């Protein structure tokens, strides 16, 4: 199972806790994890990736294993620790003050 | 006994204010969708328990929320299990999918509008500014969006389709964003003629359709805007809001960037009725529920000073359809007040003594149960108010 940590507003939207788990068949990539996440929680469609372009929304970041993976290819394999469920994929809202 | 429900959208959530017909004591519910911008909420006249809400965020984009129990519980249309299945057997979850129509049947490449620097810019969906439920079908609702276009859902907000004839009108390349973005912020449905609708866009102007949204015409004749190269141009006016009394559908009132305007022929011609207002800049305008010639505005000092003149929050009422205005001040702050009242933040109820409501960027929602003669705050310290709508319940 893949662990995904969501920012607070998306947890509220999906009515879930800090982390959710999703099952991914095949390669564990940003795309496959987000596809599985949106299939399980359709209310999140369009909130992490643009509905049409499927690109990451500009003010969201993808972290894992203390690395920023936001600019990696969506089809690049995620770290082994994410694929094995040891570490979560962190979806982070960019910090903004004011 | 009658009651009212005031739907308040703010920068940080939605609030529902409820009272009986006396409108003296209020229950406050909220924040709903805490932390999100709620641009607009509006209830269905067919089914008052059906309320649509536009929830937006710079981080997470657009969400459409729907309540079927008068605002007690909410869901995104199409997402609860079993509601509507997609190819994988999962709910479709497309209630926040607003895709501009580029289909062959439109016959036109609807690709660009004018950008701030005068170049052409592609249309980009940003948010829903206004939701207008059909007066005859609770599952039909219209959405006015930024970048300006009008969409319609006929299944309770699960899916949306653009009425592309508006952007296909031919003047689209001349539309340009105002400081607040290029938004379609006003949608008025004519209850007597289901095929007639009015919309307004900042900064393009007002448009009307007489065939259910297939074709549109600009209705800006008589508007004069010094801030565009040709002050009487067909397109380019910064219309802030338009209001219509349902019993007199050809009679329209407009708060333009500057100028309060009136049309007696469904927008074909406009004339100014600013009269003795202390300033004719402002955002809101609305009509008394029972008196089509009684209208309300909140004058704002100027387009660079978005607060009331002299620090006095005054609603102005005209009982003559414009030109002759009286300030309404009882119960409103008459010193050191520097809030704004945004374009969708005034509404009226339809009780026998018409109630008037408006919200401010300072977080106050004021109510008058006597058509504006006296005012009192329902709440004082909400986040900045973006929109106010009222449901009159029996």
Q: Which CATH number characterizes residue A75's domain?
A: 3.10.20.30
What pLDDT band is residue B87 in, cutting at 50, 70 and 90?
low
pLDDT in tens, A1-18: 999 999 999 999 999 999
List the single residue in B35, B60, B93 with the smallest CB-CB distance to A57: B60
CB-CB neighbors (< 8 A) of B34 in chain A: 12
Cα separation, B316 vs B296, whole angstroms = 6
Interface of B with A in 18-57 (CB under 8 A): 34-36, 57
DSSP assignments along B168-209, one per residue: GGS-GGG---BTTBSEEEEEEE-SS-TT-EEEEEETBEEEEE
Region A64-93: mean pLDDT is: 97
pLDDT of residue A94: 86
pLDDT of residue B89: 67
Q: Is residue A89 part of a domain?
A: no
**ipTM of model:** 0.92
The 8 Å CB, 24+ separation contacts for A70-74 are A72/A30, A73/A30, A74/A29, A74/A30, A74/A31, A74/A34
Region B187-192: mean pLDDT is: 96
The secondary structure of residue B231, as a DSSP letter, is T
Q: Is residue A91 part of a domain?
A: no
Q: Please report, rounded to a whole number, the percentage of residues in chain B having pLDDT higher than 90.
A: 84
> How far apart, in Å, are the Cα atoms of B135 and each of B45, B195, B197, B222, B280?
6, 12, 12, 30, 32
B183-189 vs B197-202, strand pairing mode: antiparallel
- Residue A12 backbone phi and psi in degrees, to 5: -65, -45
The secondary structure of residue A44, as a DSSP letter, is G
Bridge partners, residue B62, by sequence: B56
Tell me whether residues B61 and A50 touch, CB distance under 8 A: yes
Lowest mean pLDDT across A57-61, B47-51, B85-89, B199-203: B85-89
pLDDT of residue B317: 98
Cα separation, B224 vs B186, whole angstroms = 20
Cα separation, B157 vs B266, whole angstroms = 29
pLDDT of residue B81: 67
pLDDT of residue A98: 55
pLDDT of residue B83: 67
In this predicted structure, the answer to whether residue B170 has a pLDDT above a threshold of 90 is no
Q: Please report, rounded to a whole number, the percentage of residues in chain B having pLDDT higher than 70.
A: 96
Cα separation, A16 vs B199, whole angstroms = 39
* Count: domains in chain A: 1
Q: Please report, rounded to a whole number, the percentage of residues in chain A having pLDDT higher than 90.
A: 91
CATH 2.40.128.50 fits B3-393, yes or no: no
In this predicted structure, the answer to whether residue A65 has a pLDDT above a threshold of 80 is yes
What pLDDT band is residue B119 in, cutting at 50, 70 and 90?
confident
pLDDT in tens, B321-335: 999 999 999 999 999
pLDDT of residue B82: 65
**Mean pLDDT estimate for chain B:** 94
Size of interface A-B (CB pairs under 8 A): 60
List the single residue in B57, B60, B91 with the smallest CB-CB distance to A42: B91
Nearest CA distance, B99 vs chain A (angstrom)? 8
Cα separation, B286 vs B292, whole angstroms = 10
Closest-CA residue to B348 (of B240, B245, B206)? B245
pLDDT of residue A46: 95
**Residue with structure tokens 């620090």?**
B311
Cis peptide, bond prior to residue B147, ω within 30 of zero:
yes
Q: Could you tell me the residue range of the domain that residue A51 belongs to?
A: 2-82
> How far apart, in Å, are the Cα atoms of B178 and each of B98, B145, B227, B381?
21, 14, 11, 29
Tell me whether residues A48 and B94 touch, CB distance under 8 A: no
In this predicted structure, the answer to whether residue B109 has a pLDDT above a threshold of 60 is no
The count of other CB atoms within 10 Å of the CB of residue B326 is 13
CB-hemisphere CA count at 13 Å for B156? 18
**Mean pLDDT estimate for chain A:** 94
Angle at B32 between CA B154 and CA B285, to 5 degrees: 65
**Does pTM top 0.80 for this prediction?**
yes
- Mapped onto helix, strand or coil, the DSSP state of residue B9 is strand
What pLDDT band is residue B172 in, cutting at 50, 70 and 90?
confident
B7 Cβ partners below 8 Å, 6+ apart?
B14, B16, B41, B42, B43, B51, B71, B387, B388, B389, B390, B391
Is residue B205 within 8 A of residue B256, CB to CB? The reply is no
Tell me whether residues B97 and A47 touch, CB distance under 8 A: no
Cα separation, B302 vs B284, whole angstroms = 14
pLDDT of residue B107: 58
In this predicted structure, the answer to whether residue A30 has a pLDDT above a threshold of 90 is yes
Q: Is residue A43 part of a domain?
A: yes
Q: Is residue A96 part of a domain?
A: no
The number of angstroms, rounded, from the C-alpha of B286 to the middle of its chain's C-alpha atoms is: 11
Higher pLDDT, B122 or B341: B341
Mutation site for B-interface testing, chosen from A46, A92, A93, A94 by largest number of B Cβ within 10 Å:
A46
pLDDT in tens, B363-376: 999 999 999 999 99
User: Which H/E stretch holds residue B318?
Assistant: strand B315-318
pLDDT of residue B88: 66
**A71 token code pair:** 């600019």
Q: Exposure of B157 by Cβ count < 10 A (0-12 exposed, 13-18 middle, 19+ buried)? A: buried
pLDDT in tens, B39-70: 999 999 999 999 999 999 999 999 999 999 99
Nearest CA distance, B379 vs chain A (angstrom)? 23
Cα separation, B69 vs B54, whole angstroms = 17
B88 touches chain A (CB under 8 A): yes
pLDDT of residue B92: 76
List the single residue in A10, A45, A52 with the smallest CB-CB distance to B99: A52
pLDDT of residue B104: 76
Region B199-221: mean pLDDT is: 96
Where do the structural domains in chain B lie, given as residue ranges? 3-393
pLDDT of residue B165: 92
């Amino acid at each position: 199972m893949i662990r995904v940590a969501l920012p607070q507003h998306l947890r509220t939207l999906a009515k879930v806790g800090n982390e959710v788990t999703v099952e991914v068949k095949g390669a564990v990539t940003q795309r496959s994890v987000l596809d599985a996440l949106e299939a399980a929680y359709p209310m999140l469609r369009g909130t992490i990736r643009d509905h049409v372009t499927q690109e990451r929304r500009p003010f969201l970041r993808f972290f894992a294993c203390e690395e920023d993976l936001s600019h990696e290819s969506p089809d690049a394999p995620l770290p082994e620790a994410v694929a094995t469920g040891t570490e979560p994929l962190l979806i982070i809202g960019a910090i903004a003050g004011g | 006994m009658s009651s009212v429900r005031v739907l308040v959208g703010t920068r940080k959530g939605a609030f529902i204010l409820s009272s009986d017909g006396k409108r003296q004591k209020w229950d406050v519910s909220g924040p709903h969708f805490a932390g999100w911008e709620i641009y607009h909420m509006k209830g269905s006249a067919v089914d008052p328990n059906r309320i649509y809400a536009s929830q937006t965020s710079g981080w997470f984009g657009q969400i459409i929320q729907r309540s079927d129990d008068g605002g007690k519980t909410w869901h995104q249309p199409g997402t609860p299990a079993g509601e509507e299945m997609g190819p994988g057997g999962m709910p479709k979850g497309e209630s926040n999918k607003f895709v501009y129509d580029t289909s062959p049947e439109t016959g036109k490449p609807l690709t660009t509008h004018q950008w701030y620097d005068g170049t052409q810019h592609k249309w980009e969906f940003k948010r829903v500014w206004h939701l207008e439920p059909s007066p005859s079908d609770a599952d039909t609702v219209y959405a006015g969006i930024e970048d300006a276009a009008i969409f319609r859902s006929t299944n309770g907000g699960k899916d949306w389709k653009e009425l592309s004839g508006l952007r296909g009108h031919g003047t689209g390349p001349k539309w340009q964003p105002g400081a607040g973005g290029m938004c379609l912020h006003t949608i008025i449905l004519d209850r007597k003629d289901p095929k007639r609708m009015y919309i307004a866009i900042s900064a393009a102007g007002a448009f009307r359709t007489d065939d259910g949204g297939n074709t549109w015409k600009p209705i800006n004749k008589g508007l004069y805007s010094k801030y565009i190269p040709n002050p009487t141009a067909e397109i380019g006016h910064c219309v802030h809001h338009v209001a219509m009394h349902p019993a007199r559908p050809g009679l329209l009132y407009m708060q333009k960037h500057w100028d309060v305007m009136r049309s007696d022929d469904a927008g074909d011609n406009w004339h100014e009725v600013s009269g003795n207002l202390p300033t004719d800049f402002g955002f809101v305008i609305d009509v008394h529920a029972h008196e089509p010639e009684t209208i309300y505005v909140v004058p704002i000092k100027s387009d660079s000073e978005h607060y009331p003149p002299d620090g006095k929050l005054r609603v102005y009422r005209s009982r003559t359809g414009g030109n002759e205005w009286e300030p309404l001040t009882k119960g409103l702050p008459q010193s050191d007040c520097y809030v704004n009242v945004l374009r969708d933040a005034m509404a009226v109820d339809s009780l026998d003594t018409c109630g008037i409501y408006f919200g401010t960027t300072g977080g106050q929602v004021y109510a008058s149960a006597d058509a504006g003669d006296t005012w009192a705050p329902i709440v004082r310290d909400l986040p900045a108010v973006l929109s106010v709508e009222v449901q009159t319940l029996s």
